[in-house]
Amino acid sequence: MSCLVSSRIGWIIFLVGLIEVSVAASAVLGGDPATGYRLITEKPYLPPDFDQEIFDRLWETWDDPQREEAQRADIATRRRLTMRQYGLTPRPNDHLARPLQYVVTADGQYSMNCFACHGGEVNGATYPGAPNSRYALEQLTRDVRLTKLKLGKPLSHMDLGSLFMPLGGTRGTTNAVMFGVALLANRDVDLQLLPRRLPPPMTHHDMDAPPWWHMQRKQNLYIDGFAPQGHRPLMQFMLVEQNSAEDFQSWEEDFEHVEAYIRSLQPPAYSGAVDTKLADEGQQVFNRSCAECHGTYGAEPSYPERRVDWSEIRTDRVRLDALTTVDRQRYAESWFAVGHADEVECAPSGYVAPPLDGIWASAPYLHNGSVPTLWHLLHPTERPPLWRRLPGSDDARVGCRFEAYEQVPDKVSRRERYEFFDTSQFGKSAAGHDFVDRLSEIEKRQVLEYLKTL
């Protein structure tokens, strides 16, 4: 079913769109990946969140012993500790050791960029395009606010917005989808700001960002595949009030480069040992049991981009319902979908099975990041109900090292609570995808080995 925009306006948008699409399509071909990367890391599209002075004093808000450690450290070490505290990583080949996730201007202003959620680590090294599964947006924003109040500095859009909007309840996940809903409701179809109004109804929930190296395999965006790809959808992130409709138009070419960059990304190759015999057997099992949804890999890859009805997949359904038909229609009618309005799916029935290229490197698993390793994905009844990530990776089970808990220990601070993934919380269920249980234990071992090679 396509999202038909029934009004006459819709048709006009659609027709204008047809013309614009052909223009845009030719321009996209000109997008340059290196320029895209440079724009993301160097050009601030959002107002700054904080400055160097704030960044350098964030440690003062921490609990001991981290606070003490920072207090004793020299400035360079302290900055490294600060980056680690919030899940930031140094940019590759940058002698200034700036974080990948923020644009840092010459006068020391930090503005969040796409890599805040889409630039993480693989094997302990920064890997742009890998999900940032350690990003601590909520924590960072809270500490920035405290530090600004202490230093008497003005609050930014993010500091104020976060008073009304939860940013994410668990490290590594964010309420990003609802940011988009709230901000788009403030605009008319041409992205002109509307007079201030109450926020639309929202169902807050957290998601684990997907890896960008999937985009070259996909036609549509997001876990429910509701929106067709293009450079404009990538611009939703910049909907803050400070950016005008004219700004969006002037940035279109930039985002053709960003799109080219995203589509150029390759998954990282597995660096550990692989038992090739076991993996070959796993490929047979995979092609029998998984390929109908996830596609095939190797010399002649295929990818069906299949949307699986929720009644079949039964993973957490909050995300599916949180984006309402009204929200999706608003998107379909907006500038972001011009020329594609009727390809927007306003009532998707489930989630799209993602490509599994580089799957070993994008733990935790499922769209809400509820499952720490591939082994646990393949063993639904063994998935930990409450877990806390530990440093390093679990190479045997492929994914995050973690510790399981019966309950959140008494007297943990708010800061520590943020480190626990509690699958009993709203939107955080680790249930579903249990048809993997049709596999025997030996088949699961074979498939696990094969997944390392994708």
Q: How far apart are CA 103 and CA 110, in angstroms?
A: 6
136 in contact with ligand HEC (CB under 6 A): no
Can you tell me which residue has the tokens 């089970």?
Answer: 397
74-133: contacts with ligand HEC (CB under 6 A): 112, 114, 116-118
Burial label, 424 (beta-carbon count in 10 A; 0-12, 13-18, 19+): exposed
Instruction: Provide the 10 A C-beta neighbour count for residue 268.
Output: 19
Two tokens, residue 351 = 């989630």
Q: Compare residues 70 and 215 and give the one whose CB is closer to ligand HEC.
A: 215
C-alpha 11/C-alpha 251 separation (Å) is 25
Q: In the complex, what is the shortest distance from the CB of residue 7 to ligand HEC, in angstroms, rounded to a whole number?
A: 26
Based on CB atoms, which residue is closest to ligand HEC, 70 or 374?
374
Q: Write down the residue that tokens 């007079």 correspond to.
A: 195
Of 329, 347, 326, give the one whose Cα is nearest residue 337.
329
Which of left, alpha, beta for 62 (phi over 0: left; psi -120 to 50: alpha)? beta
In angstroms, give the least distance from the CB of 1 to ligand HEC: 18
Does 234 contact ligand HEC by CB under 6 A?
A: yes
Contacting residue, 177, 185, 239, 332, with ligand HEC by CB under 6 A? 177
Query: Rounded to the nearest whole angstrom, what is the least distance from the CB of residue 151 to ligand HEC in the complex?
Result: 25
Whichever of 94 and 292 has its CB closer to ligand HEC, that residue is 292
Q: Is 210 a binder of ligand HEC (CB under 6 A)?
A: yes
**x/- map, 316-355, ligand HEC, by CB under 6 A:** -----------------------------------x-xx-
Q: Which of 44, 125, 56, 51 has its CA nearest to residue 85?
A: 56
Q: How far is the CB of 88 from ligand HEC (least distance, A)?
A: 13
Nearer Cβ to ligand HEC (116/337): 116
CB hemisphere CA count around 184 (13 angstroms): 26
367 binds ligand HEC (CB under 6 A): yes
CA distance 197 to 185: 9
With a CB cutoff of 8 Å and minimum separation 6, the contacts of 319 are: 177, 205, 207, 223, 224, 351, 367, 368, 427
Residue 312 contacts ligand HEC per CB under 6 A: yes
| Per CB under 6 A, 361 contacts ligand HEC | no
Which residue, 112 or 337, is less far from ligand HEC as judged by CB? 112
Residue 240 in the binding site for ligand HEC (CB under 6 A) = no
Q: Which residues contact 147 (CB under 8 A, 6 or more apart)?
A: 50, 54, 57, 58, 60, 61, 153
**Of these, 223, 398, 400, 454, which contacts ligand HEC (CB under 6 A)?**
223
313 binds ligand HEC (CB under 6 A): yes
Please, are residues 123 and 358 in contact by the beta-carbon 8 Å criterion? no
Q: Does 290 bind ligand HEC (CB under 6 A)?
A: yes
- Of 295, 261, 301, 228, the closest CA to residue 129 belongs to 261
Residue that is written with structure tokens 């997008």 in the block? 31
CA–CA gap between residue 263 and residue 76 (Å, rounded): 35
Residue 146: Cβ within 10 Å count: 16
Q: How many residues bind ligand HEC (CB under 6 A)?
A: 46
Dmax over CA atoms of the chain, in Å, equals 66
- How far apart (Å, rounded) are the C-alpha atoms in residues 120 and 63? 25
Q: Least distance (Å) from ligand HEC to the CB of residue 122?
A: 14
> How far is residue 232's CA from residue 234's CA, in Å, rounded to a whole number?
5
Site string for ligand HEC, 382-421 (x = CB under 6 A): ----------------------------------------
Give the closest residue to 428 by CA, choosing from 353, 349, 369. 369
| Binding window for ligand HEC (CB under 6 A); candidates: 120-128, 187-195, 422-430, 431-439 | 431-439
Check residue 293 for interaction with ligand HEC (CB under 6 A).
Answer: yes
CB of 315 vs ligand HEC, minimal distance in Å: 3
Q: Which is closer to ligand HEC, CB of 14 or CB of 243?
A: 243
> Binding of ligand HEC at residue 260 (CB under 6 A)?
no
Binding of residue 174 to ligand HEC (CB under 6 A): yes
362 makes contact with ligand HEC (CB under 6 A) = yes
Q: Out of 89, 315, 373, 393, point to the residue binding ligand HEC (CB under 6 A).
A: 315
Nearest-approach distance from CB 92 to ligand HEC, in angstroms:
18
Q: Do 372 and 363 form a contact (C-beta atoms < 8 A)?
A: yes
Site residues for ligand HEC per CB under 6 A? 112, 114, 116-118, 174, 176-177, 207, 209-210, 214-215, 218, 221-223, 234, 237, 258, 262, 289-290, 292-294, 308, 312-313, 315, 351, 353-354, 356, 359, 362, 365-367, 374, 377, 433, 435-436, 439, 447
